[in-house]
Structure 1
Amino acid sequence: MRWTFRISFLLLLGWAIFMVSPFVALYDLSKAVQARDVARISERVNFNALRVSLARQILGEYLKTQDISERDRQLAAQAGATTLNPALEELVTPQALIDLLEDGQLQQIQPEGAAGPAISLDPGSLQQAWRIFILSESQGFRAITIPLTPDEPRDRQFRVTLRLSGTTWRLTGIDLPSSLQKALTKRAAVASK
């Protein structure tokens, strides 16, 4: 009976550590952003996956405005990813990520005062941390999407996706608010001409 209790306790403890670990990784990323520590940010971010995430959102926003069939939309998305790559290169850097995660805007894109909601990786209170934990969406055992602005409506939220890579949670995607998606879509359309 004692061994059953010990093993159950160890399994429960391991599960609790696993459930909290992405939030600890996000907190570590927030400290790296505050310190502007490019090396630590580079360890915590998968820039290739982040580029794909941003390209998907920008192309999705752009293709909503086009009157094309579903088959043509898929072909346009594949071609658009190649066209967008140069525009995304300047957005998917540690410095651009610091700009975005510090105040919710990209200084290269948005004029001062045109930002979406202010974001914070630091929950500030236990109640806010609990709310973020409850609203986060697990995608199996290896990925989780966490809302950074849980009090905002979904179309104004920043949501980050972390994926387990080995024993480290790494940022692989940022779901941008629709206003920022539209600004990036306009910029990409201008850059591709």
Structure 2
Amino acid sequence: MTRWWLAGLAILLLWFGYGASPYVALYRISQAVRAHDTATLERRVNFRTLRLSLTRQAHAAAVDAIAARRDLSLRERTILTEASGALAGPLVESLVTPETLIDLLDDGWPVRAGLARESGPREDAPGDTTATSRDASKKDGLGLNASTFGQLFALFRSAEPRGFRGMVVSYPPDRPIENRFRLRLRLRGWTWRLVDLELPSALRARISQRLTGALQR
């Protein structure tokens, strides 16, 4: 009887450990972002799948923007659509680095990648404009905040399981859906890694403007 009781307890502890493990991973990613620890972040992020995902999002946003333009002929739209597909990969490659990902997860906007907010400082303004924008974003609570039990619990409430080895978390949990990031973690071996990040509509639109602007040069 004691043996069965111990076996059941061991299974229960293992199940509890598995259930808590993605949130431990979120906490560690959040701490790496706060500490600007690129080495830890690189171990916790699959940059290849992340770049592929963001490339698809950037291209889709550019295609929508091109389709909405009434001043273009069908042939011109086709040409721009094909060109945006060719440019999306190199653009995202330059944007998705450990440093810019830290900037994005820290305050919700990759200012260091040259994507200044519409209402923020100009991209060509002299000096370091990232601090002001980052401080304003932190006040708005746009970053990945998973440093306290309350913040982790809020993320837990927004979590959506994806089978046994996947989970999607949307944040900030108190924002409308269109203003949230959707972060997907996947378990590989014994480590949960960030493999996908769905951007909020405002940021997708800003990247689309960057992409379509490059097409017009």
TM-score normalised by L of structure 2? 0.75
| 1:119 alignment counterpart | 143
Q: Kindly tell me: are residues 85 and 5 of structure 1, through their superposed partners in 2, closer, same or farther at Cα, counting changes over 3 Å?
A: same
Residue 102 (1) aligns with residue 125 (2): no
Runs of 4+ in 1 over 6 A off after TM superposition: 76-79
CA distance in 2, matches of 1:105, 1:177: 10
Cα deviation digits, residues 32-63 of structure 1 (max 9, x gap):
11111111111111111110111122222233
Equivalent residue of 1:90, what SS? helix
Provide closer, same or farther for how the CA distance between residues 61 and 33 of structure 1 changes in structure 2, counting only shifts above 3 A: same
Alignment coverage as a number of residue pairs: 184
Contact 2:57 2:204 in 1 (8 A): yes
Structure showing greater Rg: 2
Q: Which residue of structure 2 aligns with residue 73 of structure 1?
A: none
Instruction: Tell me what 1:174 maps to.
Output: 197
Could you tell me which runs of 5 or more consecutive residues in structure 1 were left unpaired when the two chains were aligned. 68-75
SS in 1 for 2:95: coil
Q: What is the TM-score when the length of structure 1 is the normalising length?
A: 0.84
Superposed CA offset, 1:16-40 (max 9, x none): 1111111111111111111111111
Structure 1 vs Structure 2 CA RMSD: 2.4
Aligned to 1:146, the other structure's residue is in SS state strand
Out of 76, 86, 98, which is 2:90 matched to?
A: 86
Q: Which runs of 5+ in 2 are unaligned?
A: 69-79, 121-132
Q: Distance in 2 between matches of 1:7 and 1:79?
A: 60
How far has the Cα of 1:152 moved from its partner?
Answer: 0.5
